[in-house]
Amino acid sequence: MKKVLGVMGMVCPFPLVEAKEAISGLSSGDELVIEFDCTQATETIPRWAAEEGHNVTNYEQVGDAAWTITVQKK
């Protein structure tokens, strides 16, 4: 299953706070697509995913100050 979390326009740390909450409702192997535009989250979200042991299956910049990252729950 794939879940999309749109947190465009949210300032840090809300994108990460929302992501943590959203992933807790998923089962192992499910993917969470996070769309965000807060610059600091380009550092905090991948770091959080790596430290939690989740797999990042996609991470790219989609436009000016706009990113998408897909985190697969471990």
Q: Is 2 helix (H, G, I), strand (E, B) or coil?
A: strand
Q: How far apart are CA 50 and CA 16, in angstroms?
A: 13
Q: Catalytic: 38? A: no
Smallest separation (angstroms) from another protein to the CB of 17: 7
Q: Does 60 bind another protein (CB under 8 A)?
A: yes
What does the binding site for another protein look like in residue numbers (CB under 8 A)?
Answer: 1-6, 9, 11-13, 17-18, 21-22, 31, 37, 39-40, 42-44, 46-51, 56, 59-61, 63-67, 69
| Residues annotated as part of the active site | 12
